[in-house]
Amino acid sequence: MENAETRHPLPARTAVVTGGNRGIGHAVAARLLQAGCDVVLVARDRERGEAARASLAGTGAARARLVVGDLSSVREVRATAGALAEACPRIDVLIHNAGLWPSLRVLGEDGLEQSFVVNHLAPFLLNHELEPLLTASGARVVQVSAGLYVKGQADPERTPTGLDFHPVRTYADTKLCNLLLVPRFAERWKDAGVTVNAVHPGVIRTGLGDRDGLLGHLLKAVKLLWKSPQTGARPVARLALAEETAGRSGRYFHIEAEQPLAPVAADAALAERLWTQALELTGLERTPPPARHDVA
């Protein structure tokens, strides 16, 4: 005899993974598919994105979709959010995995340094633009962070345009900017059923930070000793799906161990400055936190 659950099966969870065409993002997508999720990959290049989606055949490519989106300018991030809202009737998991470790200072169409946009402003704007979908499902938001944030120096006057650019430290600076706002989002969403946490997945062998020349060859040799993207995907997927991490919000995890933020990332006054600045740079208005939307 059929029961209500078999007549009306619960919909699969929908998970969005930015930078899902390679590295940790691709490995996370595979894990989420194995767990029964519908997965939406966000990738800048359509051809590479389709190839990544097709390569998930063994883990359920039929449940993997692609949204082409560039996260290097405010205009493109907003367009990506619109494409995701159109493609996804619901979002249960949002994983901010896309990241950029630049070797040169490059300013985008906004006059902003590109890694500042990709690593910091893009997650901030996506969180706001997708907020109605996130609150409707009580979503989990996971920010892939980096332990190097402790070396960061977030300067609201210089970091956005790369006036303090450094080929190593700028990555740490922009990751620190992003991490400073995770507790702010947790506070914003505390009554809306949405959780947000950051995780450093370990030192993982990906293409992030690859360089040309002798330094690039040396880095590739060193990376052979680092752990695989599949290993890095495990703590990210755990925050996205595991029962033991449900309800936690505004936390930072080093792999699977929760850790307090270092003092450099716990500066409330700096976080307030960065939040206000991000609102201005993305053209968002100051809005009250959303109310909880319970879904049957």
Residues tagged active-site: 171
- Angle, CA of 102, 204 and 67, to the nearest 5°: 65
State the DSSP string of the chain: ---HHHHSPPPPPEEEEETTTSHHHHHHHHHHHHTT-EEEEEES-HHHHHHHHHTTGGG-GGGEEEEE---SSHHHHHHHHHHHHHH-S--SEEEE------SS--B-TTSSBHHHIIIIIHHHHHHHHTHHHHHHHT-EEEEE--GGGGG----TTTGGGTTT--TTHHHHHHHHHHHHTHHHHHHHTTTTT-EEEEEE--SB-SSTT--SHHHHHHHHHHHTTSBPHHHHHHHHHHHHH-GGGTT--SEEEETTEEEPPPGGG--HHHHHHHHHHHHHHHTPPP-PPPPP----
Residue written as tokens 């939307």?
Answer: 293
